[in-house]
Structures are given as structure tokens and as C-alpha cells.
Amino acid sequence: MSKSIKYKLISALSITIFLLIWEIATDVLHIKPSFVLPSPIKVFHVLIVKMTSTSPDGSTLPIHILASLKVALLGFLSGAIVGSPLGILMAWNKKVDMAVRPVFDLLRTIPPIGWIPIMILLLGIGTQAKVAVIFLCSFIPCLINSYTGIKQTSQIHLWTGQIFGATNMQLLRKIAIPTALPFVFTGLRVSLSISWMTLVAAELLAATKGVGYMMQIARTIGRADIIVLGMLVIAVLGSVLFMVLEFVEKKFVKGWF
């Protein structure tokens, strides 16, 4: 017990020292000019200012965050809703597998960021293009993982089910899907992190709102404090999304076993 407290103290100390060095290097010693490396106090200050101020990019921070979250969640959820069941179906039914696989293998090889320009050309720089890109990139890991999950089902369990007269549907619902569920959630986690990353890339390239757009504007006018703020916001939001997903996973996966 005392040992864990000691390590927690060390952790607290290390982050304080890190922030102190950062502060001393910027505000006291001025190693780099503030448009290159802002001090932590300045970042905190700009966080408060950005809550209500719309300069320099036309929206306040909460609006940027809402815009990013909306796009990311729309794309991620639609990808998950299409991808996971399709993966299950592909693993369960050989015909579906054969029909979908070649198209899927073709889609899979192109990294999500490669889709951004063509989607922007096709759908414009609004929400649609970004949702489409995120849909494509979140759909792929969901599909692969739920496919692998169903394939992990033990043949013995299936045979047992068959002996007791379970129908095909029952085998899938009572045996295969519970086995696959942890894999499905792994897929969701992977696709959430890819979605979040792709969203930032898409907003850096073309957008009118969103945290990535805020950072891009800040870069062009040399406001490093806003860039660092944007990075921190992205990190915090990403972690929060992950926590929510983990919470859901605990609820669901516990219920099955």
C-alpha cells in the first residue's frame, strides 16, 4: 500500500517537474519565441478565452468540439452498424463471404486518409464528405474483427448445439455471437481510434469548423497556443470516447458470460 502511494507521489512529482520545465523554458528563459512554443499558462489562458471568443477562426471552442464530435460519431457509428453485422454474416455464410470479400479486399488496401481528397471532390467540404471517409475507415476494422471472432467459435460448441437440436439461427445467436463479442469490441476500439485520427486529418485539409480546422487556421497565423490547445482537446476527447466505449464493453460482455 505504502509502495503504491510512493509511486503515485513520484508520478505527481514528475508531471509537476515537466510542467515547471516547460514554464521556465518559455516564460522565464524565452528559449523559443511564444509563436513557436507557448507556455503552459498561456495555453490555459487561451482555453478560457476560446470558450467565448470566436477569433481567429469564426467559432468558439465548444462549437468546434461539437462539430468534430458530431462528424466522428456519425461516421464511427454508421461504420460500426454496417461493419460488425456484415463481418458476422460473412463469417457465418460462405456465399456472402464470397460475394463481399473481393470488393472488401479492394477497399481495405487504401488507407482512410487516401479517401479524403476524392470524397471532398465528390461530396464537398461539408459534413457529408467527412462522414463518408470516417465511415469507410471505421467499417473495415469492425468487419475484420467480427469476422475473426465468429471464426474463433469452437466447433465442439457448435456440434453440441446441433445435437440438442438448435436451429442455425439459434447457433448463431446463442453460441457464435457471444464467442465473437470480445473481438467485436476490439474492432470497435481500433476503428474508434482510426476514426478520430482520420477526422483530424480531414479537418486539417478542408473544413469550416472543427478542432482540426481551428489548429490549421492557428498554424497559418502563427498562434502556437491555439495549436497546443487543440492537441490537448483532441487528446482529452479521444480518451473520453475510449472510456465510454470501455464502459459499454464492460456492461455488454459481462452480461454474456
Written as nine digits, the cell of 198 is 482520420
Closest distance between other proteins and the C-beta of residue 169, in Å?
26
Q: What sign for the dihedral angle of Cα 194, 200, 202, 208?
A: positive
Q: What track of x and - describes contact with other proteins for positions 118 through 157 (by CB under 8 A)?
A: x-xxx-----------------------------------
CB-nearer residue toward other proteins: 59 or 195: 195
Closest distance between other proteins and the C-beta of residue 106, in Å?
6
Q: Dihedral angle at the C-alpha atoms of 236, 238, 240, 242, nearest 10 degrees?
A: -150
Closest distance between other proteins and the C-beta of residue 109, in Å?
4
Piece of the chain touching other proteins by CB under 8 A; list 47-55, 127-135, 153-161, 232-240: 232-240
The letter for the amino acid at 156 is I
Residue environment code for 1-10, b if the CB has 16+ CB neighbours within 10 A, otherwise e: eeeeeeeeee
Which three-class secondary structure state does DSSP give residue 36?
coil
Rounded CA gap, 94 and 150, in Å?
13
Rounded CA gap, 18 and 8, in Å?
15
CB 56 within 8 Å of CB 217: yes
CB-nearer residue toward other proteins: 51 or 121: 121
CB-nearer residue toward other proteins: 29 or 103: 103
CB-nearer residue toward other proteins: 17 or 252: 17
Contacts for 62 with CB less than 8 Å, ≥ 6 apart: 51
Burial class of 97 by CB neighbour count within 10 A (0 to 12, 13 to 18, 19+): middle
Closest distance between other proteins and the C-beta of residue 165, in Å?
29
**In the set 28, 29, 52, 102, which binds other proteins (CB under 8 A)?**
102
Answer yes or no whether residue 7 interacts with other proteins by CB under 8 A.
yes
CB 25 within 8 Å of CB 31: yes
234-253 residues near other proteins, rule: CB under 8 A: 234-236, 238-239, 242
Answer yes or no whether residue 228 interacts with other proteins by CB under 8 A.
yes
Neighbours of 221 (CB within 10 A): 10
Q: What track of x and - describes contact with other proteins for positions 169 through 208 (by CB under 8 A)?
A: ------------------------x--xxx-xx--xx---
Q: What track of x and - describes contact with other proteins for positions 8 through 37 (by CB under 8 A)?
A: x-xxx-xx--x----------------xxx
Piece of the chain touching other proteins by CB under 8 A; list 78-86, 149-157, 174-182, 217-225: 217-225
74-93 residues near other proteins, rule: CB under 8 A: none
